[in-house]
Amino acid sequence: MKVKLDSPEYYINRELSWCEFNHRVLEEAMDATNPLLERFRFAAIVSSNLDEFFMVRVASLKNRIAAGDYSQCPAGLTPQETLSALSIRIHRLVEQVYQTIGQLLAGISEEGVALRTFDSLAPALRASFYRF
């Protein structure tokens, strides 16, 4: 039997794959068996990745749509189909990020760690940040 290698069933859309990868990173932030600060780090990685993803990948998709590009990726999706599928997944991902960060903030509070805004710091401490 000869395999048809250009068949979309053999490919995963790279943007949707990115979402799945970042969901797996977020699962590490949600995993209570991981140390609390490590969980924050995982949540921060997902947040940072989201910023870059929107600046680069989503912007590129929007540019392709605006240019009237209806070509399909190897997975068989057009830019508009990809953007629509991303919208659903990313909304869900962002909701989970916010829920996770809320839980983590409650967790550090229970550990006696207090978060402060920059403006609430003593003037001398605020000034020390400007030296860098």
Considering the domain boundaries, does residue 91 fall inside one? yes
The residue type found at 27 is E
Considering the domain boundaries, does residue 80 fall inside one? yes
Contact 106, 99 (CB under 8 A): no
Considering the domain boundaries, does residue 23 fall inside one? yes
* Domain CATH for 73: 1.20.58.310
Contact 30, 96 (CB under 8 A): yes
Considering the domain boundaries, does residue 1 fall inside one? no
Considering the domain boundaries, does residue 3 fall inside one? no
Contact 104, 36 (CB under 8 A): yes
Instruction: Give the lowest-confidence range in 39-53, 83-97, 117-131.
Output: 117-131
Going by pLDDT thresholds of 50, 70 and 90, the confidence category of residue 132 is: low
- Report pLDDT digits (tens) over 18-53: 999 999 999 999 999 999 999 999 999 999 999 999
Read off the pLDDT of each residue in 50-66 and give the average, rounded to a whole number. Answer: 96
Share of the chain above pLDDT 90, in %: 76
Considering the domain boundaries, does residue 94 fall inside one? yes
CA atoms within 13 A on the CB side of 56: 9
Domain extent for 66: 9-129
Nearest one of 25, 1, 17, 32 to 82, comparing CA atoms: 17
- What pTM, to 2 d.p., does this model score? 0.81
Residue that is written with structure tokens 């290698």 in the block: 5
Q: Is the pLDDT of residue 56 over 80?
A: yes
Q: How far is CA 39 from the centre of its chain?
A: 14
Q: What is the total count of domains within the chain? A: 1
Read off the pLDDT of each residue in 74-98 and give the average, rounded to a whole number. Answer: 97
Separation of alpha carbons 72 and 43, rounded Å: 32
Considering the domain boundaries, does residue 46 fall inside one? yes
Contact 15, 86 (CB under 8 A): yes
How many contiguous H segments (helices) and E segments (strands) does the chain have?
5, 0
Separation of alpha carbons 2 and 82, rounded Å: 29
